[in-house]
Amino acid sequence: MIGAAIRTRIRTAICGSFILLSVTTAGGAGDCPATGDTVVIATIGDATSMIPMITSDTASHEMSAFCYNGLLKYDKDLSLVGDLAQSWRISEDNLTITFYLRQNVRFHDGQPYTAHDALFNWRFMVDPATPTGYSYDYEQVAEAEVLDDYTFQVRYAAPYAPGLASWTLPQMPRHLLEGQDPRQSPLSRHPVGTGPYLFRQWNPGESLTLSYNRDYFEGRPCLDAVVYRIIPDLATIFMELSALGLDWSTLTPVQYQRQANSEFFQNNFNKYKYLSSSYSFIGWNMRDPRFQDIRIRRAMSHAIDRREIIKGVLLGMGQEATGPLKPGTYWYNPNVPRYEYDPQKALQLFKEAGWELAPDGRLRNAGGDPFDFVLITNQGNTSRQNAGVFIQYRLAQVGIKVDLRVIEWTSFLQEFVNQRRFDAVLLGWTIPPDPSPSLYSVFHSSNRDPGKLNITGYASQELDALLEQELKVLEQTERKVLHDRIQEIIARDQPYTFLYLPQALPIVHRRFQGIEETSSGISHNFIRWHVPQEQQMRPYIFMER
Amino acid sequence: MILYLCKRLLMMLPMLLGITLVSFAVIQLAPGSPSDLMVDMNPQVSDLARERLHKFYGLDKPVLEQYWNWLKNLAALDFGQSFAPDGRPVWDKIVERLPITVSINVLSLLLTFLVALPLGVYSAVHRGSWLDKGITIFVFIGFAAPTFWLALLAMMLFGVHLGWLPISGIQAMNHDALSWGGKAADYASHLFLPVLLSSFVSLAGLSRYMRSNMLEVIAQDYITTARAKGLRERAVICRHALRNALMPVITILGLSVPGLIGGSVIFESVFAIPGMGKLFYDGVMARDYPLIMGCLVLGAGLTLLGNLLADIGYALADPRVRREGR
């Protein structure tokens, strides 16, 4: 149990029959300069279940992640590396993936983790009785089998590029879940996994406590316990931080730039920032003939000042979006057509499309109709609502009257977005580490039907072909070429006016050491966070209940 | 009296049935369904998964059939299972939230009565005095100021600057390690601000009510008689006036019964209290039909019960009501 951690990270350049190896030597407490202390984390919502794959809320996924491992995981650069699988191999024909599992991994209850568990987890995901929304990736697997206790193999019917990434699936214990209704299973209230932290206690709506797993295969995590406190109100969270009742939370841009700048905060906390994996956009409904005209959509993109929105709404804590992928990641293509703020150019484009500024300051067509439209957005995202006001103001300057309407989430989806009853919609998407399936759902023309995700009704044969091709290519550089082209086409056609990516703004108490700030966040090496003995604030007292 | 009670109890049944029917219908009318939260706007969801989820929750059946099934379960006192992914029985979810909500509400109701009644009586007796005016301004500040704002100010003062009280939640992290007395003190310190503030905001209503009742009674002839026969002012007010002025307060008490299990979402969110208000609100947002119905039935049942209790209280206090009932 000694020795420094040797981590050989290998990019997920998947091709031919290379054996990809990710060696991680398990370390003992020796990896921790100090052990002990508790981190108290604020969350605005409680988890719904500790079986993550049957939930859709962030809290459930985030909290249960401490208890579970996948076969693979993303490292700090968002490349796939082994987790419970020590290595994996993709066959020549790109159809079969073989996982070579770590040996001597045990669940929290002492039972060994084997390939039979891996097989069970696949079966669980494709079982019609499992109430999950995430079965699609696993249904692409034609056949899965256990070769021996530590070798697990899946075979796809056709090459499926996002397949590998789907094996980050949290591995549930077969011996506790098999043959059970997952919603009735005790696991949903009391997770038993292989992860770095053990479940201790859950007071619904109030708090959730986890304590360290001394037998974790990557070595004991340094912090003794993790406590989530559920505090739905952002102002209260800030008060708790001010009273040192919390160690880790996320700030709003105003809190980050103004309130948390006091001497007290500088002495007690470290603030971090990284680009979040989501972007906000305006989707133009192309069932409306006005927005079908590419000149109009480009004109809109020129008429809106993104920098101003970032400055005014996010207080500078964000970045302009140029397309649907995250700047700074492998897949992102910066060389796409950009639409600088230029009202003159916008007016020029409107004019070409038959809309001119009338003497009364309104944009009108030959028939004298004014260019008015309704922009809808969902309730609950304050930045987006505020951005709507900036958009309203800038479009008014080119003679367009925008009605901004904020609607409760479920009604917003059911009555407006899914039914396509809108002129333009202000919304956001998250950007998953592997972008393929979501780009396909959002921009492929087959997904235009009501209820599906191509909400603008955008259809481009050129893009469709690329998206289809991309799903079948596994070779990384080849995929990158296709993705670059996809981003160019989307930027050219502007089905969306891409607005911004907000920054995530976490704040952590100063006593925590070993935090690595990367472009993907700060939590990837959480198990190595530690607090020097003399600075520890919250000793965790173990109590059997 | 017993006949009167039976009659009233029987009347409650169709009423309750009507309430559930209307509630069920209204929930169905709200756009969206429970499975939406799981599948909508999620690029990884296939149509097949969508259909499966729909079927899983029994949403593919006609609404009337859904209602009938729900009603059958209710008859066996089964509130059904939540549509949330944890699928826990609705009753369990409600029960784990009830104690904290009820204790805060009972405590604040007690505190409100304890403070508002004397304030009201005093204002009435010294009507027009400076103190009367001062009290009026004080209670109306409580009535008018937004609760969450007052709460945040109080947290800032007592929690951050003075450090006397915890800011949010209902128990300290080391709660389980505390002695019995320590636990009680821990709860008390956590509940102090919520109880104080929720009483403060409801002072206005009750004290004004008490004041106007009292004024009305004082103007009655029998008070003049009492004074005329030479009783001391104290006896006139406490024995003759107050008792009669308290009568309508019984109604208010009765009406407060359903309020005991209800919580305010804003209040609970600000203080991070896992109470009924937040449970119900989250249920509505997630379109968790069984949970919504469970909360509504409980609320409706308690409202009816409260009305009944108020009537019984009246009957006990006022013989005329008893006779009418016969």
Q: Which CATH superfamily is domain A29-67+195-273+505-535 in?
A: Periplasmic binding protein-like II (3.40.190.10)
Q: Which amino acid is at A343?
A: P
Q: Which is nearest to A492 in space by CA: A469, A458, A517, A455?
A: A458
Average pLDDT over residues A337-354: 94
Please identify among residues 122-161 of chain B the ones whose CB lies closer than 8 Å to any CB of chain A: 148, 152, 155-156, 159-160
pLDDT > 90: percent of chain A = 61
CA atoms within 13 A on the CB side of A279: 20
Residue B324 confidence (pLDDT) = 56
Q: What is the full DSSP assignment across A267-324?
A: HHEEE--EE-SEEEEEEE-TTSHHHHSHHHHHHHHHHS-HHHHHHHTSTT-EEE--SS
Tokens encoding A384 = 């987006």
Residue A9 confidence (pLDDT) = 27
Q: Among all residues of chain A, which has the CA nearest to that of B54?
A: A131
A235 in contact with chain B, both atoms CB, cutoff 8 A:
yes
Instruction: Give A544 to chain B, closest Cα distance, Å.
Output: 10
Residue A82 confidence (pLDDT) = 93
* A127 three-class SS: coil
Q: Which is nearest to A469 in space by CA: A172, A160, A216?
A: A160
A316 vs B173, higher pLDDT: A316
Q: What ipTM does the predicted assembly reach? A: 0.78
Distance of CA B3 to the CA centre of its chain: 30
**What residues contact B28, with CB distance under 8 A and at least 6 apart?**
B63
Q: Which amino acid is at A310?
A: I
Report the residue of A132, A140, A247, A384 to disrupt the B interface, i.e. the one with the largest count of B CBs within 10 Å.
A132
Residue A324 confidence (pLDDT) = 94
Alpha-helix residue ranges (DSSP H) falling in B127-179: 130-144, 147-154
CB burial of residue B13 (10 Å; 0-12, 13-18, 19+): exposed
- pLDDT at A424 exceeding the cut of 90: yes
Q: What is the pLDDT of residues A134-150, one digit of tens each?
A: 888 898 999 999 999 99
Q: Given an 8 Å threshold on Cβ–Cβ distance, is B272 in contact with A236?
A: yes
Residue B319 confidence (pLDDT) = 66
- 8-state DSSP, A540: P
Q: Is the dihedral of CA A113, A118, A119, A122 positive or negative?
A: positive
Distance of CA A107 to the CA centre of its chain: 27
Phi first, then psi, for residue A152 (nearest 5°) are -130, 135
Residue B40 confidence (pLDDT) = 54
Residue A444 confidence (pLDDT) = 92
Q: Could you tell me if A189 and B86 are in contact, meaning their C-beta atoms sit under 8 angstroms apart?
A: yes
Q: Given an 8 Å threshold on Cβ–Cβ distance, is A132 in contact with B49?
A: yes
Q: Where are the domains of chain B?
A: 97-280
DSSP H or E run through A230: strand A225-230
Fold of the domain spanning B97-280: MetI-like fold (1.10.3720)
A353 in contact with chain B, both atoms CB, cutoff 8 A:
no
Please identify among residues 174-203 of chain B the ones whose CB lies closer than 8 Å to any CB of chain A: 174, 176-177
Q: What is the pLDDT of residues A444-471, one digit of tens each?
A: 998 888 777 899 999 999 999 999 998 8
Q: Which amino acid is at A285?
A: N
Q: Could you tell me if A356 and A370 are in contact, meaning their C-beta atoms sit under 8 angstroms apart?
A: no
* B117 three-class SS: helix
A274 in contact with chain B, both atoms CB, cutoff 8 A:
no
Tokens encoding A322 = 């140029």
Residue B35 confidence (pLDDT) = 66
Q: Which amino acid is at A533?
A: Q
Instruction: Give A242 to chain B, closest Cα distance, Å.
Output: 6
Q: Which is nearest to A84 in space by CA: A3, A167, A146, A17?
A: A167
In this structure, the number of other CB atoms found within 10 A of the CB of residue A128 comes to: 12
Instruction: Give A224 to chain B, closest Cα distance, Å.
Output: 14
Average pLDDT, chain A: 87
Average pLDDT over residues A16-21: 34
Q: Among all residues of chain A, which has the CA nearest to that of B156?
A: A239
B87 contacts on A by Cβ (under 8 Å): 49, 181, 183-184, 188
B36 contacts on A by Cβ (under 8 Å): 410, 413-414
Question: The domain A96-176: what is its CATH number?
Answer: 3.90.76.10
Q: Could you tell me if A145 and A116 are in contact, meaning their C-beta atoms sit under 8 angstroms apart?
A: no
- The band of A8, judged by pLDDT with boundaries at 50, 70 and 90, is very low
Phi first, then psi, for residue A150 (nearest 5°) are -125, 20
Residue B43 confidence (pLDDT) = 54
B314 vs A495, higher pLDDT: A495
- The band of A119, judged by pLDDT with boundaries at 50, 70 and 90, is very high
- For the stretch B282-287, contacts whose Cβ atoms lie closer than 8 Å and that sit 24 or more positions apart, written own/partner, are B283/B82, B284/B30, B285/A409, B285/A410, B286/B34, B286/B37, B286/B83, B286/B84, B287/A410, B287/B27, B287/B30, B287/B32, B287/B33, B287/B34, B287/B36, B287/B37, B287/B83
- Cα A395 to Cα A305: distance, rounded to the nearest angstrom: 10
A137 contacts on B by Cβ (under 8 Å): 44
Q: Which is nearest to A82 in space by CA: A204, A171, A147?
A: A171
- pLDDT at A321 exceeding the cut of 90: yes
Q: Which residue has the tokens 């009753």?
A: B91
Average pLDDT over residues A330-359: 93
DSSP H or E run through A226: strand A225-230
Residue B321 confidence (pLDDT) = 62
Alpha-helix residue ranges (DSSP H) falling in A188-273: 234-242, 253-257, 263-268
Residue A15 confidence (pLDDT) = 30
Report the residue of A56, A201, A452 to disrupt the B interface, i.e. the one with the largest count of B CBs within 10 Å.
A56
Question: The domain A278-502: what is its CATH number?
Answer: 3.10.105.10
* Per-residue pLDDT in tens (0 to 9) along chain B, 326 residues: 677 778 878 888 888 888 888 888 888 887 777 766 555 555 555 666 667 777 777 777 788 888 888 888 888 888 888 887 777 888 888 888 888 888 898 999 899 989 988 898 888 888 888 999 999 999 999 889 888 888 999 998 998 888 888 888 888 877 877 888 888 888 888 999 999 998 888 888 888 888 888 888 888 888 888 888 888 888 888 778 887 888 778 777 777 877 777 777 888 888 988 888 888 888 888 888 888 888 888 888 888 888 888 777 777 766 666 665 44
Q: What is the pLDDT of residues A243-257, one digit of tens each?
A: 999 999 999 998 999
Instruction: Give A454 to chain B, closest Cα distance, Å.
Output: 10
Q: Given an 8 Å threshold on Cβ–Cβ distance, is B269 in contact with A233?
A: yes
Residue A16 confidence (pLDDT) = 31
β-pairing, A85-90 vs A19-21, is antiparallel
B145 vs A29, higher pLDDT: B145
Alpha-helix residue ranges (DSSP H) falling in A368-431: 382-397, 409-411
A96-101, strands of its sheet edge to edge: A19-21, A85-90, A96-101, A151-156, A141-148
Q: Where are the domains of chain A?
A: 29-67+195-273+505-535, 96-176, 278-502
DSSP H or E run through B268: helix B265-271
Q: With 0.95 as the threshold, say if the pTM is over it.
A: no
Q: Given an 8 Å threshold on Cβ–Cβ distance, is B52 in contact with A55?
A: no
- Cα A504 to Cα A284: distance, rounded to the nearest angstrom: 27
Tokens encoding B170 = 């209902």
